[in-house]
């Protein structure tokens, strides 16, 4: 009797295949040389996968010439250069992989991505899955409103429609605030940073909540920047760091060293000027115009990798 390939035999076969793979992986891990984790992978494959975002201006974006650019992207490039030097590689290929807020953590955890530098907040929940480098930016969530909206403070939002990007730390903050004070805010969730702004622009929401720097970059790109303003005192500060594999001490040391080195040498300050104070090549030319905050100046004096 011949056994027809049924669902069950297929199941058994795939089970055997998976077990086989797991066994192979186990053997490979046992014979690993002293170089470990991300650095070993970089050396063995001659490639490094760096995550990027399509439109997180000015941290990661495609500029008008369709080239990857951005403040965080350049920091990642410095890390790549340093890794190449430390590992004495003649050639190191950089693979750029576009991620979204939803995919970035799984992709770092399952080791598809070696390094993710973008507008990613360092917090306790995420530290369960990934490690964060030295902080390279400090932000606080604020409100983007039309100048004539009459909204100046968080408490002016009672009973109004407010939009926030889904799944962000800003959403978490807004929900906590709403729940605690019983303000009855209608929270509208937007898919990404651009849709977030579109929702206030079309009048569906009176305000958009987001990390302040992103709001300023929205205004810079708006059709009529003079119509908009950023209000509300930040309720809490947040630290952006580069994500890398959890517990990868050697690679973290390298990344931290690069960022701290840039802060000490003044390179960080000039990079800041390039992206936050001078025109960048987006939609012709826009200027974010966001002078360094006292928190950022403090960070430059005392670099650290703590969530805020």
Partner 1 sequence: MHYTWDWLIFFKPSVTGEGMYGLMLLRGLLWTVVLSLLAWTLALGIGLFAGVARTLPSRTARYLSTVYIHCFRNTPLLVQLFLWYFVVPELLPVEWGNALKQMNPTTNQFLTVLVGLTLYTAAKAAEQVRAGIESVPRSQKQAAMALGLGTAAAYRHVVLPQALRTVIPPLTSDFLNVFKNSAVALTIGLMELTGQTRQFSEFSAHPFEAFIASTLIYVAITYGVIVLMRHVERRTRVPGLLGAA
- Give me the phi and psi of 223, to 5 degrees please: -60, -40
Stretch binding partner 1 (CB under 8 A), from 13-21, 246-254, 256-264, 269-277: 246-254
Q: How far is the CB of 133 from partner 1 (least distance, A)?
A: 16
**Three-state DSSP class for 31?**
coil
Determine, following the binding rule CB under 8 A, whether residue 235 of this chain makes contact with partner 1.
no
Determine, following the binding rule CB under 8 A, whether residue 246 of this chain makes contact with partner 1.
yes
Determine, following the binding rule CB under 8 A, whether residue 308 of this chain makes contact with partner 1.
no
The C-alpha atoms of residue 102 and residue 287 are separated, in whole angstroms, by: 28
Say how many C-beta atoms besides its own lie within 10 A of residue 162's C-beta.
23
Q: How far is the CB of 167 from partner 1 (least distance, A)?
A: 3
Contacting residue, 20, 46, 184, 247, with partner 1 by CB under 8 A: 247
- Give me the phi and psi of 230, to 5 degrees please: -110, 125
CB < 8 Å & 24+ apart, contacts of 251-257 = 251/37, 251/38, 251/39, 251/114, 252/131, 252/133, 254/39, 254/79, 254/82, 254/83, 254/86, 255/79, 255/115, 255/133, 255/134, 256/133, 256/134, 256/303, 256/305, 257/82
**CA dist list (Å): 117 to 31, 159, 242, 244, 250:** 31, 37, 4, 9, 17
Determine, following the binding rule CB under 8 A, whether residue 253 of this chain makes contact with partner 1.
no
Q: How far is the CB of 180 from partner 1 (least distance, A)?
A: 7
Pick 5 or 203: Cβ nearer partner 1: 203
Determine, following the binding rule CB under 8 A, whether residue 180 of this chain makes contact with partner 1.
yes
The C-alpha atoms of residue 133 and residue 23 are separated, in whole angstroms, by: 32
Contacting residue, 47, 161, 194, 289, with partner 1 by CB under 8 A: 161
**Three-state DSSP class for 223?**
coil
Determine, following the binding rule CB under 8 A, whether residue 283 of this chain makes contact with partner 1.
no
Number of residues that bind partner 1 (CB under 8 A): 38
Q: Write each residue from 74 to 113 as x if it is in contact with partner 1 (CB under 8 A), else as -, in one continuous string.
A: ---------------------------xx--xx--xxx--
> Smallest Cα–Cα separation from 71: which of 286, 236, 255, 273?
273
Determine, following the binding rule CB under 8 A, whether residue 175 of this chain makes contact with partner 1.
yes
Contacting residue, 74, 114, 116, 171, with partner 1 by CB under 8 A: 171
Determine, following the binding rule CB under 8 A, whether residue 237 of this chain makes contact with partner 1.
no
List of residues contacting partner 1 (CB under 8 A): 101-102, 105-106, 109-111, 125-130, 161, 166-168, 171-172, 175-176, 179-180, 186-191, 198, 202-205, 245-248
């Amino acid at each position: 009797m011949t056994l027809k390939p049924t669902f069950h035999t297929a199941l058994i076969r795939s089970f055997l295949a998976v077990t086989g793979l797991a066994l192979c992986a186990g053997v490979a891990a046992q014979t690993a040389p002293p170089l470990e984790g991300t650095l070993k992978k970089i050396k063995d494959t001659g490639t490094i996968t760096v995550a990027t975002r399509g439109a997180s201006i000015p941290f990661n974006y495609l500029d008008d010439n369709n080239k990857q650019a951005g403040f965080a992207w350049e920091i990642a490039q410095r890390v790549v250069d340093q890794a190449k030097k430390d590992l004495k590689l003649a050639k190191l290929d950089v693979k750029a992989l576009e991620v979204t807020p939803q995919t970035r953590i799984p992709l770092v955890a399952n080791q598809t991505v070696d390094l993710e530098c973008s507008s990613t907040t360092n917090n306790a929940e995420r530290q369960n899955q990934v490690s964060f480098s030295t902080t390279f930016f400090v932000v606080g969530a604020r409100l983007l409103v039309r100048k004539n909206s009459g909204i100046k403070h968080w408490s002016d939002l009672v009973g109004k429609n407010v939009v926030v990007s889904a799944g962000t730390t800003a959403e978490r903050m807004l929900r906590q605030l709403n729940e605690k004070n019983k303000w009855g805010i209608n929270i509208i969730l937007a898919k990404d940073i651009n849709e977030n702004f579109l929702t206030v622009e079309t009048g569906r929401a009176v305000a958009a909540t987001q990390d302040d720097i992103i709001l300023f970059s929205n205004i810079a790109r708006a059709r009529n920047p003079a119509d908009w303003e950023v209000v509300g005192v930040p309720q809490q500060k947040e630290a952006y760091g580069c994500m890398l594999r959890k517990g990868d001490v050697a690679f973290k040391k390298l990344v931290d060293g690069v960022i701290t080195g840039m802060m000490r040498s003044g390179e960080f300050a000039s990079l800041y000027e390039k992206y936050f104070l001078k025109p960048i090549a987006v939609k012709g030319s826009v200027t974010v115009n966001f002078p360094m905050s006292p928190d950022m100046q403090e960070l430059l004096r005392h670099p650290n990798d703590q969530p805020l």
